[in-house]
Chain A
Amino acid sequence: MVWVNAIVQGILVGGLYALFAAGLSLIFGVMRLVNIAHGDLIVLAAYMALTCVTLTDLNPLLAIFVVAPFSALAGYAFQRLLFNRTLGADILPPLLVSFGLSVIIQNALLQIYSADSRKLNAGGIEIASIPIVQGLSIGVLPLLMFVTAILTIGALQFMFYATPLGRALRATSDDQDVARLMGYDNKHLYAIAMAISLAVVAIAGIFLAVRTNFDPALGPQRLIFGFEAVIIGGLGNLWGTLAGGVILGVAQALGAMIDPGWQLLAGHLVFLAILAFRPEGLFPRVDG
């Protein structure tokens, strides 16, 4: 039963990893940009929530409604002012600019909030759980996290395939020149995509902050988890990314059962195994 428990908890944590990954995947899909600062933006959102909660005494989970719009606006501005200038045939500028941004955010957070680890307290919901059978119960918070991940990915999927905005985004993703000829404003669309990505980042950041301790140096590892979920699930497939997150979460939970030192290692090894034997991921997008 201990093992079943580990697997169930791993699945639920996988939802958080999928949230880390969804924003990353969205940006890559629309403009082939891999945002190295993605993990640091998640941590930045966690700190924004911390400030918001300290100032207003709001419940951390409700702080999402303050942080997400703010984060989305910041994302729009980032894209217009920074990333749009780097997009082109050469992959170096966006990569190095986002890498520089990552170092800047990490050290700015270090400067403002110090290296102490923090945590958001969401109250009673943190310890509430639903008993399933003897020795196995599901925490309300992890469950909420998982359901949020499903809803977020469902919403992104709907936005992409059933709305005019999604059609525009897919059009620029397929061929930006033709999309421009059709009257789409690419720079605006890219900025919208970044805004959506950072709204998802805000959700992920708040769940991260409620679930565990966080400090300014945590970003790169969140980026790596998100990235591994994307690759395991298969590029360009959002539901695949959810599956990738779940597989990563379960691998880490099982690794931790063997030896606490193996928790992260087990996740990385599953990723490397997928890369070795099925580099296109488990559920690659099938183009019609």
Chain B
Amino acid sequence: MSGPAFTIARATPESRIALVFALLGLLALATGPYWMDRNSMRLVGEFLIYLGLASLWNLLAGYAGLVSVGQQAYVGFGGYVLFGCAMFLGVPPLLAVPIAGATAALLSIPVSYLVFRLKGAYFAIGTWVVAEVFMLLASQWQAMGGGSGVSLPIAIVRSIGSTRDMREQMIYWTTLGVTVAVLIAVYLLLRSRWGLALQAIRDSEVAAESSGVSVASAKRLLYVVACAGAAMIGSLIFMAKLRISPSSAFSVNDWTAFVIFITVIGGIGRIEGPVIGTILFFLLRETLSDLGASYLIVLGCVAVAIMLFAPKGIWGLVQDKFGWQLFPVGRRLILNTNKEGA
């Protein structure tokens, strides 16, 4: 009896380095309120929000081929759940964040049975219709100010933190916590047997199905996870804004177009893509912010050019050149060729 002629590895040398850097970055961000000024904290908060939304959208579109143009439905839903819970049920706002996630997960199941009847691009527009319906229903909610929206009452704002600094720190840390939880959840999901199934689906739906993968339930699981995550992030967005209205809560530009551009530019279907994309997005935004509407034109052109000439995104280019895998989700086979007489 000799040992097996191969070993299975998941980690790569660069992934160990990436892990160290990720932990250092997390430490730096976690201590942010002690060394950042108010503006940088707000910028980082926004960065985390887009990173979270883009990772979730990447999970949907990049791994299950579910190109949703309607995730703003759940971002807005999360915001409205937060406001509703805090204003009418007296729930502490921070506690309303997981409630937003849970109710969105429940809601997304019946919705998935409707929109999953549409395939491909029709699915995209179908999810958009659902988001429109959510927006129109929110506009009818008179207790929430109908179409013009409502501000969070001052007593509730105080309950998050007694001073402005304390409140902003609480929201910052919660945002960091939720985004890190989303990223870890995405990573672990992709590394689990569901992840293997999802990657099989991404590569060929028919082949996956015939290998015993239940394509429908894998996709539904993913959709529920993505919707719950979007709702939690949405509740945080509007906790920080202190005000919600149907047009801001269900904005397709803010919560879906940017997110799609981030993912496409960074690298769709790669876990590192949204990270790279969000960094590039904020660099572009901070340098081009004077341009107004033309900033969106530039962003759109960049995304179209990437889709045409480098469909795997910036990270895809890096990966092709260096073979790096910073957050490996697959397994590698290493043959033990130096062993004698295997």
- Which A residue sits closest to B264, measured CB to CB? A96
Q: Are B133 and A261 in contact (CB under 8 A)?
A: no
A100 to B301, CA, bound (A): 7
Is B140 a contact partner of A261 (Cβ separation < 8 A)?
yes
Q: How far is the CA of A34 from the CA of B120 in the complex (A)?
A: 9
A99 touches B69 (CB 8 A): yes
Closest residue of A by beta carbon distance from B117: A279
B128 nearest CB neighbor, chain A only: A224
A175 to B43: give the CA distance in the assembly, Å: 51
- CB of B133 within 8 A of CB of A268, answer yes
Q: Decide: A275 and B114 in contact? CB cutoff 8 A.
A: yes
Quick check: which of B87-95, B188-196, B303-311, B327-335 contacts chain A, the rest being far away?
B303-311
In this complex, the interface size class of chain A, counting residues with CB under 8 Å from chain B, is 35 or more
Question: Which residues 226-251 of B sit at the A interface, judged by CB distance below 8 A?
Answer: none
Interface of A is mostly: helix
A224 to B124, CA, bound (A): 11
Q: With an 8 A cutoff between CB atoms, is A269 at the interface?
A: yes
Once A103-B253, A275-B118 are accepted as A-B contacts, the answer to whether A93 and B67 lie under 8 Å apart by CB is: no
Cα distance A95–B121 in the bound complex, in angstroms:
6
**Contact yes or no, A107 B293, CB < 8 A:** yes
* Bound-complex Cα distance A224 to B132 (A): 9
Query: Quick one: CB contact mask for A53-73 with B, threshold 8 Å, 1 for yes?
Result: 000000000000000000000
Task: State which residues 277-295 of B face A: CB under 8 Å.
Answer: 292-294
Contacts of B301 in A (CB 8 A): 100, 104
In the complex, how many angstroms separate the beta carbon of B4 from the nearest chain A beta carbon?
37
Q: What residues on A are CB-neighbors of B140 within 8 Å? A: 261, 265
> B161 at the A/B interface (Cβ < 8 Å)?
no
8 Å CB interface, A82-137 against B: 82, 85-86, 90-97, 99-101, 103-104, 106-108, 110-111
A268 closest partner in B (C-beta): B133
Question: Which of B126, B136, B297 meets A107, CB within 8 Å?
Answer: B297
- How far is B303's CA from A95's CA once the two chains are assembled, in angstroms? 12
Chain B residues positioned under 8 Å from A221 (CB to CB): 132
B150 at the interface (CB under 8 A from A): no
Q: Which residue of B lies closest to A89 (CB)?
A: B204
User: Does B260 count as interface, using CB distance less than 8 angstroms?
Assistant: yes
B307 touches A97 (CB 8 A): yes
- Decide if the interface of chain B is mainly helix, strand, loop or mixed: helix
Are A91 and B65 neighbours in the complex by a CB distance under 8 Å?
yes
In the complex, are the beta carbons of A96 and B297 less than 8 A apart? no
Decide if B300 touches A227 in the complex (CB within 8 Å): no
Contact, CB under 8 Å: A265 / B294: no
Complex Cα spacing A97 to B304, Å: 5
B111 to chain A: closest residue by CB: A272
Q: Is the CB of A103 within 8 A of B300?
A: yes
A261 CB, nearest partner CB in chain B, Å: 6
Name the A residues within 8 Å of B56 (CB-CB). none
At the interface, yes or no: A214 with Cβ under 8 Å from chain B?
no
Q: Judging by beta carbons under 8 Å apart, are A272 and B303 in contact?
A: no
A-B contact pairs, 27 of them (CB 8 A): A33-B121, A34-B122, A82-B304, A82-B308, A86-B307, A86-B308, A91-B121, A92-B61, A92-B67, A93-B308, A95-B120, A96-B67, A96-B304, A100-B261, A100-B301, A103-B257, A104-B301, A107-B294, A107-B300, A223-B125, A228-B129, A261-B139, A264-B132, A268-B129, A268-B136, A272-B114, A275-B117
Give the top 8 A-B pairs by smallest Cβ distance, nearest first. A34-B121, A100-B304, A104-B300, A103-B300, A279-B117, A107-B293, A107-B296, A91-B120
- Chain B residues proximal to chain A, CB less than 8 Å: 61, 65, 67, 69, 114-115, 117-118, 120-122, 124-126, 128-130, 132-133, 136-137, 139-140, 252-253, 257, 260-261, 264, 268, 292-294, 296-297, 299-301, 303-304, 307-308, 311
A residues at B contact (CB < 8 Å): 32-34, 36, 82, 85-86, 90-97, 99-101, 103-104, 106-108, 110-111, 220-221, 223-224, 227-228, 231, 261, 264-265, 268-269, 271-272, 275-276, 279
